[in-house]
Amino acid sequence: MINKVVKNAEEALKDVKSGMTLMVGGFGLCGIPENSIAQLVKMGVNNLTCISNNAGVDDFGLGLLLQTKQIKKMIASYVGENDEFERQMLSGELEVELVPQGTLATRCMMAGYGIPFFPTPAGVGTEVAIGKEVRSITFRGETKDYLIENAFESDFAIVKAWKGDTAGNLIYRQTARNFNLPMAMAGKITIAEVEELVEVGELNPDHIHTPGIFVNRVFKGEKYEKRIEQRTVRKK
């Protein structure tokens, strides 16, 4: 069994260069690769295109890369929690492509499956459809218009898992599974940081979400803050 363990985030990300396209896993602030993002800030790579469900908050997650203006283009579904993102977008400093959430996930999955494009009814007749091919398709006896959406192409997929083994098999926990799982399949090179790193054979095969065949490098992360975007509690 191939051992895919690297020492830390610095070693895992050593060949990420300015101008590359990165998929970054997580949902809100849940399941984001905190150690990898901090290392990208430290490296100072810039002109990045980042594909992620959201852009973090002002002082955490991908918001840290926005603060240092290392992101040139953001491809995301939800960006409503980040004032710096809004400022850069409105001032023209940041290129933004907003994608319906289901389409975002499917574009990741299609990349992992090796399928270059797919039809979807989401976004037809809206700004999402501008510049894209529209085809009339009959499905289940109904004919309607579908957008042709391309699978994503990324140089790296950077994901975070709850547990992983030395061969790169990964288990995610609850909501963290949402985008980490499809993105792990989709990068030319997939880097996984994990909270707990174990030997091959210690993970229950029935519990594995991402097989190690998709993962190129894995390392044990440190000091996870696991911040909550918005905490809402019920009054007594």
The residue-averaged pLDDT of 146-163 equals 97
Q: How does the average pLDDT of the chain come out, rounded?
A: 94
| pLDDT single digits (tens) 170-192 | 999 988 888 999 999 999 999 99
In the chain, ranges of CATH 3.40.1080.10 domains: 9-101+151-220
Which 8-state DSSP code applies to residue 74? E
Fold designation for 9-101+151-220 = Glutaconate Coenzyme A-transferase (3.40.1080)
Query: In angstroms, rounded to a whole number, what is the distance separating the alpha carbons of residues 75 and 53?
Result: 8
Query: In angstroms, rounded to a whole number, what is the distance separating the alpha carbons of residues 29 and 78?
Result: 12
Which amino acid is it at 67? Q
| pLDDT single digits (tens) 200-214 | 999 999 999 999 999
Give the gyration radius of the chain's Cα atoms.
18
166 confidence band (pLDDT: 50, 70, 90): very high
Query: Considering the entire predicted model, what is its pTM?
Result: 0.92
Compute CA 2 distance to the chain's CA centroid, rounded to the nearest angstrom: 25
Give the residues across from 41 on adjacent strands: none
Does 232 score more than 80 pLDDT? no
197 confidence band (pLDDT: 50, 70, 90): very high
Kindly tell me the burial class for residue 23, based on how many C-beta atoms sit within 10 Å of its own C-beta (0-12, 13-18, 19 or more): buried
